[in-house]
Chains A and B, each alone.
Chain A
Amino acid sequence: MTPAGILHAPFAFLVNPLLLWGGIALAAIPIIIHLLNRRRVRTVRWAAMDWLLAALKRHQRRLRIENWLILFLRCAAVVLLGLALARPVLTDSALAGLFGQKRSIYLVLDTSYSTEAKSAARTVLERVKHEAGRVLDSLNKEDAVTVVVTNDPDEDNSDGLAPSVLVPRTIGTEGRTRAKEVVAKMRPRHAPAGWGETLDVVRAQMQPEDVNRQLIVITDLQATDWLQRARVLAEGTTGDATVGGTRVSDQLRVLLRQATQIQIVNVGGETRRNLSISSLHAHADRGAFVGRPLRLDIEVSNHGDQAVNGAVVEVFVDGRREPTRTVPTIPGADLALGRPGVEKINVQLSRTTFERPGSHEIRVKVGPPAGDPEADSLALDSERVLSVSVRRRIQVVALTTDSRPPPNTRLRVKPYAALTYLSGIYEGDRPGDITDITALGSLYSFDAVAMEPQLLARLRARDTNPVDLVVLCNRPLADANLIEALRDFVRTGGGLLVFTGDQFAGSPAAFNEAFHPELPEHQLCPFALGPAELKRLGETSFHFDFDRDDSKHPLAGPFTGPDAEMWIKRNPPQVRGRTPFIEPTRPTPVPGTPDPGGSTDDPPGEQPNPGHVVLRFEDEGGKPAIVAGTFGEGRTLWVGTSIDDGWMSNHVFPFLPVFLEEGALWLTQPRDEGRNLAVGDIIARMLPPGAEEPRFSIPGGAQVGPSRRTDDERTGRSEISYDTVGVAGMWKLTYGVPEASGAVKKVVDMIAVNPDPRESALGAADPRDVRGDIPPERPLSFHTSYGDTAEELQEVREGEITRWVLWILLGLLVIESILAWRFGRRRGGSVEGAS
């Protein structure tokens, strides 16, 4: 019950106190009418003044009393009317029981995916429904009921993360019938329960006219949802479980001021063991390629307090089962800290796993040991999917001063020689692994062009002959069309690698005009280029060094590690000519561009830096030598020196191929983003020009169109999105792409959607933590069954006395009428014996 106003006596309060003030104000009306009537006196010239005065003299006192009595009754009637409209409610239990039995039940049901957990042959949700049914059966015909679920049940139009009002406040049997219908149809969503938001919704639903408001929450009381969701945010600062409970207990405290009672019915049961695949990643941020092995990093979590021996992990690639793994032991969870026992598994997929490029599905399942089937009570999180985009090779186009095909040797020192490494130089799994410089041409498709028109034509034909990476070697660009085409190329996800250096055939001004013009939206290069510098013979070469502040950048990876640092220390890389970039003092962010560095360690929500110094020259304070940037969906890499013989020197040589390798992979990586999401994320995909009829296949069979589609008229590409991703599993985006032959090529893009792994911890919250610092005398109670609370639920603590006030008002009006009649307020009357 909401004490909406200030009139809240210890034993009673008013539902609409403003109306009482209104009634009191209106009570002045009879007085005002009385006074106005005294002002609007009619004058009569009268003969029988003696009789009049005699009557007045004889009855003056009585008349005055009658007047006051009538006035009082009328004022009291108006005040009582206001009081009735204000709906007074007694909060004294003894009195309340005399006046009414109405209740307003707010039934809050947990439909998070943890309620799919099965225990003793029944799922938690089935118990939730059962208990909800008992609550609904207990409703009287005058009771009001409101049903709220923690997760919106509309799978087609919601991601299930937000709570939903299934049955708005409805009175009587209609409310009960509707509630039973919707409760029977409830299904668990693949999303956690946000109790803070849910209780907010409940509070918003509460109506001032509620009497005996009772909030009944039927849940598994999962600690993750009730307590630890907030604790995760505070992780690193404290491990105190009450940190998480603060918000919920605050909400409950607020609700306790508005509700007479809160009962939390915990139907989660005792069995809280669960196994889950908590993490699944394809090792190699560089992507997957046809004919190359791929390693999967899998985390299996045990949320029960007992260790699990012999859990079975199965891997399926495109539905094809890979060899099964058995995990010898998964340690038990530390329930006190809410941390599961985790076992990490690496699964190596062979070279032959992916035979074709495109989108592939990897599905990993964990199952309980044969002898301990109860180790895993929740099926949904026992499976995790991963979408892998497999490429046959990276398509590289280089604009060089020499368009001759690169020779198959690493010993040549011509400008294009270094590019030969892009044709495939090693197959190591770790960054910086250069021990196996073989299999040339296995990974990259290299195409060198010498003339700008050739590059322009190549870029314009990239839809049929894809280009992943453009390399500009010591060449300025003069063709404005080519520059614009490059912008489009990078904007739509292409990679651009530019070498400048002392052999840069043009002025920095020409470079800046092409790549760093004034308009930020045209700045392919995040930094302006400075003047070229050249060391003469006999002078000490320019040395690279690491930018210590930015050493986390992926492209700095090849240069990190003890071996690399030792090598660098002994043989500092050096070049004779350089054109360092001018680092802005305060980099201007480019709107809409993601983090250029791609660093996964950047705190979420931080404004991305449009330019990122990967490597600096050692001297003069470290002028930027290699700068990374983003442009639209693509990435750019700018090298402040030429690709020339200097790189081929013994000092620098070990780093160039690695840098090129990692750089090329990093530059082409963005195309793989957005394929692996969590429930509640937004699917956003860029479609090629002319893509037709994009449709999403939701796991389970339903097909939906995109929520939004934005066509870019200039590039012909379309961006589509779907923003209510509420079903975990492998989503498929299907669309057609018209080919030159006129046929339409069907493209299937897989998008993996997984549930929040934190929901896998089924452990129940300690009621003391949920309660927080709510005083024990407040009517917040925890139960395991509605049967425990039935009697308490029937208790009436508030009695609305509006009806009684109305009866009193009616009685007052009758008395007033009788008295008014009795006092001569009636027409007629005559002199006795008059003729």
Chain B
Amino acid sequence: MTSDSRTYLDPEVLDRIAGLELKARHIVEGYVSGLHRSPFRGFSVEFAEHREYVPGDDIRFLDWKVFGKTDRLYIKRYEEETNLEANLVIDASASMQYTDREDKLPSKFEYACWAAASLGYLITMLQRDAAGLVLFDEQVRLALPAKGGPGHFRNMVHEIERAEPDQGTGIGRALAEVSNAVRRRGLVILFSDLMDDMREVVKGLRQIRQRHEVLLFHVLAEDELSFPFQRLTRFEGLEEELKQVADPAALREAYLAEVTGFRKRLRRICTQNHIDLIEMSTADSLGVVLAAYLARRAARRKA
């Protein structure tokens, strides 16, 4: 997929995720009522329970009708549902430029943008929640606050299309900035290849996880997963001035072991921090991956 032809709203993908929802599994703070559980009670209409009044309770929530009938003071409790504020955080570092050796697949960045746009559409256009957009490389390069509405969605897509990844990665610092920038608790959806120091990555993820639910879309190119090169190759780093000549055939096994080890560590970290990890390959069908994940997530939520 080339930049000329890129359109991040693939009807097929949108069609696949149209019947699904992306709901926050954790409590999110919203200004309007919505699909998601709010940290606040009393502002919503969804009755939750009665409990006896204890001194100190706000008398605004006394149920006078019950008092009239029973002379006992009860406090009415409501389960408030609010709107979701999701932030789509896309890694726009240079390492995301890699496509594949034959240039037939989309680059990781394109794939990530594609996924982000689809989820943004789901969130803003279908669920009518608010979505923000953050692009970062070594630092946050663009941050659109979370809003709803078609206009905002178009702005997001426009910004995504304008973005060109060409800098190094600083995930740890970037996530810290994201965490600071998004004050309200909500959903942070991170798209990245995580090509950075693992400690910084973990640190950033933990920091943002303190306030937000995190969905981590780990995007890797198919070549990075299969390492299909045969001939002697000079590998030049996309972000650093590193050059290394290697015999890929001889190195494949060791390389794949490294990748496997990284992913295992990442899974463990995500599990420990309650982060949803979605591993994606640029060769995968995005619609299938998103639909499968959303369905799985919905099922898990009901459970």
B240-267 with Cβ < 8 A to chain A: 240, 242, 244-247, 249-260, 262-264
Query: In the bound complex, do residue A52 and residue B244 qualify as a contact, i.e. CB atoms below 8 Å apart?
Result: yes
- Are the C-beta atoms of B233 and A42 separated by less than 8 Å? yes
Residue ID in chain A nearest B221 by CB atoms? A47
A67→B236 contact, CB < 8 A: no
Task: Flag whether A50 is at the interface (Cβ < 8 A).
Answer: yes
Question: Could you say which of A37, A55, A825, A826 contacts B232, with CB atoms under 8 Å apart?
Answer: A37
B284 lies within 8 A of chain A by Cβ: yes
CA distance A655 to B247 in the complex (A): 114
In the complex, are the beta carbons of B242 and A48 less than 8 A apart? Answer: no
A258–B265 Cα distance when bound, in Å, is 74
- B255 touching A52 by the CB < 8 A rule? yes
Cα separation A117 to B247 with both chains bound (whole Å): 82
Contacts of B227 in A (CB 8 A): 829
Rounded to whole angstroms, the CA-CA distance of A835 and B281 in the bound complex is 7
**B147 within 8 Å of A (CB atoms):** no
- Highest count of chain A CB atoms <10 Å: which of B226, B255, B281: B255
Q: Scoring A residues 702 to 731 as 1 if CB is less than 8 Å from chain B, else 0, what string do you get? A: 000000000000000000000000000000
B280 at interface by CB-CB < 8 Å: yes
Q: Using a CB-CB cutoff of 8 Å, which residues 807-835 of chain A contact chain B?
A: 823-827, 829-835
* B281 A46 Cβ-Cβ under 8 A: no
Q: CB-CB < 8 A to B228: which residues of A?
A: 827
* Interchain nearest-CB distance for A384 vs B (Å): 89
Question: Residue on A with the closest CB to B226?
Answer: A830
Contact of B235 among A44, A829, A833, A835 (CB under 8 A): A44
B231 within 8 A of A: yes
**B101:A824 contact, CB within 8 angstroms:** no
Task: Assess whether A570 is interfacial by the CB under 8 Å rule.
Answer: no
Contacts of B139 in A (CB 8 A): none
Are the CB atoms of B226 and A52 closer together than 8 Å?
A: no
- On whether the beta carbons of A67 and B247 are closer than 8 Å, the reply is yes
A37, A67, A823, A831 — most chain B CB neighbours (10 Å):
A831
For the side of the interface on A, what is the size category? 35 or more
- Asked if A824 meets B251 with Cβ closer than 8 Å, knowing A44-B233, A46-B238, A829-B226, the reply is yes
- In angstroms, Cα B252 to Cα A63, docked, is 11
Chain B interface size, under 10 / 10 to 19 / 20 to 34 / 35 or more = 35 or more
In the complex, residue of chain B having the shortest beta-carbon distance to the beta carbon of A38: B232
A834 adjacent to B247 (CB under 8 Å): no
A residues near B280, Cβ cutoff 8 Å: 835
* Most chain B beta-carbon contacts within 10 A, residue among A47, A825, A830: A47
**A827 lies within 8 A of B195 (CB):** no
Within 8 A of A (CB), among B137-167: none
What distance in Å separates the Cβ of B295 from its nearest Cβ neighbour in chain A? 15
Interface residues of B in 85-118 (CB under 8 A from A): 94-98, 101, 108
**Quick check: B251 and A51 within 8 Å, CB to CB?**
no
A826 to B262, CA, bound (A): 24
Within 8 A of B (CB), among A33-51: 37-38, 40-51
- Taking A38-B232, A42-B231 as contacts, is the C-beta distance between A63 and B251 under 8 angstroms? yes
Point out the residues of chain B lying under 8 angstroms from A451, CB to CB.
Answer: none
Contact indicator A63/B236 (Cβ below 8 Å): no
Tell me the smallest distance from the CB of B291 to a CB of chain A, in Å: 14
Most buried by A among B193, B228, B235, B257: B235
Q: How far is it, in angstroms, between the C-alpha of A51 and the C-alpha of B251 when the chains are bound?
A: 11
Knowing A51-B259, A56-B251 are in contact, say whether A42-B232 is a contact too (CB < 8 A).
Answer: yes
| Complex contact B226–A831 (CB within 8 A) | yes
- Which residues does chain B contribute within 8 Å of A58, judged by CB atoms? 254, 258
B102 to chain A, nearest CB (A): 11
**B residues less than 8 Å from A55 (CB atoms):** 251, 254-255, 257-258
Q: Please judge, given known A-B contacts A47-B193, A47-B195, A53-B244, whether A831 and B238 are in contact too, CB under 8 Å.
A: no
A120 interface residue, CB < 8 Å from B?
Answer: no
Interface string of B211-236 (1 = CB under 8 A from A): 00000000011001111111111111
Contact in complex: A51, B250 (CB < 8 Å): no
B237 is an interface residue with CB less than 8 A from chain A: yes
Q: Within 8 Å of chain B (Cβ to Cβ): is A513?
A: no
Instruction: Report how far A834 CA is from B222 CA in the complex, Å.
Output: 10
Nearest-CB residue, chain B, relative to A54: B258
User: What is the CA–CA distance of A830 and B225 in the complex, to the nearest angstrom?
Assistant: 6
B160 to nearest A CB, angstroms?
20
Task: Determine whether the beta carbon of A49 is less than 8 Å from that of B260.
Answer: no
At the interface, yes or no: B15 with Cβ under 8 Å from chain A? no
Residue-wise interface mask of B (266-281) relative to A, using a CB-CB cutoff of 8 A (1 in contact, 0 not): 0000000000000111
A833–B195 CB distance below 8 A? no
Residues of A within 8 A of B230 (CB): 827
Contacts of B235 in A (CB 8 A): 44, 46, 49, 52
Q: How far is the CA of A38 from the CA of B231 in the complex (A)?
A: 9
A197: chain B residues within 8 A (beta carbon):
none
Q: Are B246 and A52 in contact (CB under 8 A)?
A: yes
Is B221 a contact of A66 with CB atoms below 8 Å? no
Task: Let me know if B195 and A835 touch, CB within 8 A.
Answer: no
| Residues on A with beta carbons closer than 8 Å to the beta carbon of B234 | 41-44
User: In the assembly, what is the distance between CA of A47 and CA of B255, in Å?
Assistant: 13
Q: A-facing mask of B45-88, CB < 8 A → 1, else 0?
A: 00000000000000000000000000000000000000000000
CB-CB under 8 A from A134, the residues of chain B are none
* A32–chain B nearest beta-carbon distance, Å: 14
**A404 at interface by CB-CB < 8 Å:** no
> Chain A: which residue is nearest B230 at the CB level?
A827
Complex-state Cα separation, A282 to B139, whole angstroms: 133
B239: chain A residues within 8 A (beta carbon): 47, 49
Known A-B contacts A53-B244, A829-B256; the reply to A45 vs B251 at CB < 8 A is no
- With contacts A49-B240, A49-B242, A67-B247 known, is A44 near B252, CB below 8 A? no
CA distance A66 to B245 in the complex (A): 16
Contacts A52-B246, A833-B263 known; A824 to B98 CB distance under 8 Å? no
Q: Does A535 contact B (CB under 8 A)?
A: no
Q: Which of A40, A53, A54, A63 contacts B250 (CB 8 A)?
A: A63
Q: Closest CB-CB distance, B196 to chain A, in whole Å?
A: 9
CA A824 – CA B254 in complex, angstroms? 9
A824 touches B238 (CB 8 A): no
Q: Evaluate whether A56 and B225 lie within 8 angstroms (CB atoms) in the complex, with A43-B236, A48-B195, A824-B249 already known.
A: no
Measured in the bound complex, the distance between the Cα atoms of B234 and A56 in whole Å is 13
> Which of B225, B232, B251 has a CB less than 8 Å from the CB of A831?
B225
From A41, A47, A56, A827, B254 is in contact (CB under 8 Å) with A56
In the complex, whether A59 has a CB less than 8 A from a CB of chain B is yes
- Chain A 638-657 interface residues, beta-carbon cutoff 8 Å to B: none
- A107-129 contact mask (Cβ, 8 Å, vs B): 1 or 0: 00000000000000000000000
Contact among A40, A49, A59 for B237, CB-based, below 8 A: A49
- Contact check, A831 vs B237: say whether CB atoms are below 8 A apart: no
- Asked if A47 and B98 sit within 8 Å, CB to CB, the answer is yes
A51 touches B258 (CB 8 A): yes
Is there an interface contact between B247 and A45, defined as CB atoms closer than 8 Å?
Answer: no
Q: Roughly how many angstroms separate A66 CA and B193 CA in the complex, as a whole number?
A: 32
Q: How far is the CA of A498 from the CA of B289 in the complex (A)?
A: 132
State which of A42, A825, A833 has its C-beta within 8 Å of the C-beta of B264: A833
A832 to B284 alpha-carbon distance, docked (Å): 16
Q: Which of B229, B237, B258 has the most CB of A within 10 A?
A: B258
**Chain B residues within 8 Å of A45, by CB:** 97-98, 236-238
Contacts of B221 in A (CB 8 A): 47
Chain A to chain B contacts (Cβ below 8 Å), 27 pairs = A38-B245, A41-B234, A42-B231, A42-B234, A43-B236, A45-B97, A46-B98, A46-B235, A47-B95, A47-B224, A47-B239, A48-B193, A49-B235, A49-B237, A49-B242, A52-B235, A52-B246, A56-B251, A63-B251, A63-B254, A829-B227, A829-B252, A829-B253, A831-B260, A833-B260, A834-B279, A835-B279
| The 9 A-B residue pairs with the shortest CB-CB distance in the complex, in nearest-first order | A55-B254, A47-B95, A51-B258, A46-B235, A59-B254, A47-B98, A49-B237, A832-B260, A55-B255
- B contact residues vs A (CB 8 Å cutoff): 94-98, 101, 108, 193, 195, 220-221, 224-240, 242, 244-247, 249-260, 262-264, 279-281, 284, 289
Known: A829-B226, A831-B226. 4 other contacts (CB 8 A): A41-B233, A55-B258, A824-B253, A835-B284
